[in-house]
Chain A
Amino acid sequence: MVAQKSEFTTTGKFASKSEEIIIPQIITPKLEIRDVGKIYKTKAGETTALEKTSFTVADGEFVTILGPSGCGKSTILRIVAGLEESNSGQVLLDGKEINGPGPDRGMVFQSYTLFPWLNVKDNITFGLKLNGVSQKERDDLARHYLQLIGLEGFEKHYPIQLSGGMKQRVAIARALANDPKILLMDEPFGALDAQTRTIMQEVLLKAWEESKKTILFITHDVDESIFLADSVYVMTARPGRLKKKIPITLERPREFSMKSTPEFGHYKDELLSLIREESLKSIK
């Protein structure tokens, strides 16, 4: 803990931040990433997957991280989830340092991760059952979330009988049913076709508005990052680093039609040029 202090003072940004904490009116952010970095050791030597990165996510905020492939954006998410360890820094959830994975951070993956041997309802209530929630309460919650994601009548279906979009809806419901403090989403719509993708974005926004969850969402799709977010973070290519934060002030609730407004276009231009520089760099 002593080492931490000296680390903070070396970067100007954190020196001011740690002083800020003393000021009482500062609200603890839902999620705080402090100087989190990741280095992979390979045969060829050390590769920096993620440079020391710091940012915060406020309670109820929808934050997207936009970056080219291989920029380490999934690494951030996996570190926050506790599935990977960072080489430096810390992750604070509600001001408490995280240690390993836990049900307070729900996650939705790009790959389909429903349990194939469980039907939709049992998938949604998997975490609840582990945590000893009663049968009746589980039934009620399953019904509620099935309705929220628009899959009533599918509770007895097995994952193999569902389309890709439906599987991801169930995965979202499963994560939300567990009532996590934050929902981490790692390109959840990356494997879906363009049409399904836009529909899923609307389903997700509806679920977010209703559940008031804090969401950290990874994507490489510019439209998606704008349409969903309160703030978009653009990441640089390897070594990964947050390049810029762009607050999105489009009004809520978001409508599909907003994607063709000039306002949306401005965000898109800005983000596209930022991401293009990075994509070019990553090709070189």
Chain B
Amino acid sequence: MASKWLTPNKEIPKKIYTSAGFITFIFVLGIWSLLSYSEFVNPLFLPTPTAVLATATEMFVSGEIFADIGISFSRVFTGFMIAALIGIPLGILMGSLRIMEGAFEPIIGFIRYMPASAFIPLLILWIGLGETEKMAVIFLGTFFQLTLMVMDVTKNVQNDLIDVSYTLGAKNAQIFTKVILPASLPGIVDTLRITFGWAWTYLVVAEIVGASSGLGYMIMQASRFLQPEKIIVGILIIGLLGLITDIMFKSIYRASFSWMRKDGF
């Protein structure tokens, strides 16, 4: 039985699959408990799970955390939306028109290696410390990768699919709307899912400097006041928010692209 689970690419029962993920979580929690309850690590640096839970409950009950979640979410969401709204069409054009690829690929390929966080001092000089600056960091952190990934997805649209469309009477504009777009849509949704995850990771960076609200700010404050429970709660919330958006994208994917599955469900 167990040897079957170790055969590459072999399907395993759904139950076993889910349990495996569950066990990993328990394992990590176990190590954490072991290190903290035994006070093997100073509680000042690693609080116990119960202490974190108590802090989390308190933060949610008092409601102070919701304002931070709200402002952080709006920063991530807006910054990311702007990146997607520009990146998707640009990526599609770069993936299908050689002239667009030639014009934009080199510069985007270059900028994407520049760390978004290093732009923060410059962004502060240019646009100040307001919301726009926070969103700009998220934008810079995701836009270039997203555009290049969409370009790749679009490039992978089978050439014969485009050729056959021409022989069926499609014009250039229709090739974009009726062939390239639907063919690359699953890949685009998947790209959005992955890059939205990255957007969350840029949040703390964006909120380190000059912020007075948000989850990143809350984490920085907690560090200053030596409250590791609060830091961990903050990190867990960001992780959960990321996970929720990931699940949302996955369900959009499942619901929209049933044609990709043999069983049609």
Task: Report the interface size for chain A: residues with CB under 8 A from the other chain.
Answer: 32
Given the known A-B contacts A103-B169, A109-B160, A113-B160, are A130 and B259 also in contact in the complex, defined by CB atoms under 8 Å?
no
User: CB of A160 within 8 A of chain B?
Assistant: yes
A101 and B257 alpha carbons, distance in the complex (Å): 30
User: CB of A169 within 8 A of chain B?
Assistant: no
User: Using Cβ atoms and an 8 Å threshold, which residues of chain A touch B45?
Assistant: none
A126 touches B168 (CB 8 A): yes
Given the known A-B contacts A107-B163, A160-B262, are A113 and B158 also in contact in the complex, defined by CB atoms under 8 Å?
yes
Q: Mark interface residues in A73-90 (1 if CB within 8 Å of B CB, else 0).
A: 000000001110000000
Query: Residue on A with the closest CB to B185?
Result: A117
Interface residues of B in 210-265 (CB under 8 A from A): 257-262, 264
Chain A CB within 10 Å — which of B165, B168, B264 has the most? B168
**Which of B167, B179, B259 makes the CB contact (< 8 A) with A160?**
B259
User: Using Cβ atoms and an 8 Å threshold, which residues of chain B touch A100?
Assistant: 166
Q: Mark interface residues in A125-160 (1 if CB within 8 Å of B CB, else 0).
A: 011001100000000000000000000000000111
User: Using Cβ atoms and an 8 Å threshold, which residues of chain B touch A180?
Assistant: 167
A254 and B247 alpha carbons, distance in the complex (Å): 57
**Which of B167, B170, B179 makes the CB contact (< 8 A) with A83?**
B167
Q: Which bucket holds chain B's interface residue count?
A: 20 to 34
User: Using Cβ atoms and an 8 Å threshold, which residues of chain B touch A265?
Assistant: none
- Secondary structure call for the B interface: helix
Query: Residue on A with the closest CB to B186?
Result: A117
User: Using Cβ atoms and an 8 Å threshold, which residues of chain A touch B258?
Assistant: 158
User: Using Cβ atoms and an 8 Å threshold, which residues of chain A touch B168?
Assistant: 103, 106, 126-127, 130, 174-175, 178
Query: Residue on B with the closest CB to A157?
Result: B264
Q: Mark interface residues in B199-212 (1 if CB within 8 Å of A CB, else 0).
A: 00000000000000
User: CB of B174 within 8 A of chain A?
Assistant: yes
User: CB of A95 within 8 A of chain B?
Assistant: no
**Which of A102, A111, A161 makes the CB contact (< 8 A) with B169?**
A102
**Which of B164, B169, B261 makes the CB contact (< 8 A) with A131?**
B169
Question: Distance in Å from the Cβ of A129 to the closest Cβ of chain B?
Answer: 9
User: CB of B44 within 8 A of chain A?
Assistant: no
B160 touches A116 (CB 8 A): no
B174 touches A117 (CB 8 A): no
Question: Distance in Å from the Cβ of B184 to the closest Cβ of chain A?
Answer: 11
User: CB of B178 within 8 A of chain A?
Assistant: yes
B183 touches A117 (CB 8 A): yes
User: Using Cβ atoms and an 8 Å threshold, which residues of chain A touch B257?
Assistant: 117
Total residue contacts A-B, CB cutoff 8 A: 77
User: Using Cβ atoms and an 8 Å threshold, which residues of chain A touch B183?
Assistant: 115-117
User: Using Cβ atoms and an 8 Å threshold, which residues of chain A touch B158?
Assistant: 111, 113
User: Using Cβ atoms and an 8 Å threshold, which residues of chain B touch A113?
Assistant: 158, 160-161, 163-164
Interface residues of A in 220-242 (CB under 8 A from B): none
B167 touches A115 (CB 8 A): no
A159 and B258 alpha carbons, distance in the complex (Å): 12
B169 touches A107 (CB 8 A): no
A115 touches B169 (CB 8 A): no
A109 and B162 alpha carbons, distance in the complex (Å): 12
User: Using Cβ atoms and an 8 Å threshold, which residues of chain A touch B260?
Assistant: 116, 160
A103 and B259 alpha carbons, distance in the complex (Å): 26
A159 and B182 alpha carbons, distance in the complex (Å): 15
A115 and B163 alpha carbons, distance in the complex (Å): 12
Given the known A-B contacts A158-B259, A158-B264, are A130 and B178 also in contact in the complex, defined by CB atoms under 8 Å?
yes
**Which of A101, A109, A130, A178 makes the CB contact (< 8 A) with B174?**
A130
A81 touches B169 (CB 8 A): no
B166 touches A101 (CB 8 A): yes
Question: Distance in Å from the Cβ of B255 to the closest Cβ of chain A?
Answer: 14
User: Using Cβ atoms and an 8 Å threshold, which residues of chain B touch A175?
Assistant: 167-168
User: Using Cβ atoms and an 8 Å threshold, which residues of chain A touch B161?
Assistant: 113, 115
**Which of B160, B170, B182, B185 makes the CB contact (< 8 A) with A130?**
B170
User: CB of A105 within 8 A of chain B?
Assistant: yes
- What are 22 A-B residue pairs whose CB atoms fall within 8 Å in the complex? A83-B166, A101-B167, A102-B167, A103-B167, A107-B167, A109-B160, A109-B163, A111-B158, A115-B183, A116-B183, A116-B260, A117-B259, A127-B169, A130-B170, A130-B174, A131-B169, A158-B259, A158-B264, A160-B260, A160-B262, A175-B167, A178-B168
6 smallest CB-CB distances across A and B, nearest first, come from A103-B169, A127-B168, A101-B166, A107-B167, A113-B164, A158-B259
- The chain A residues found within 8 Å of chain B, CB to CB, are 81-83, 100-103, 105-107, 109, 111, 113, 115-119, 126-127, 130-131, 158-161, 171, 174-175, 178, 180, 184
Beyond A158-B258, A174-B168, 9 additional contacts (C-beta under 8 Å) are: A82-B167, A103-B169, A106-B168, A109-B163, A111-B158, A116-B260, A119-B259, A130-B170, A130-B174
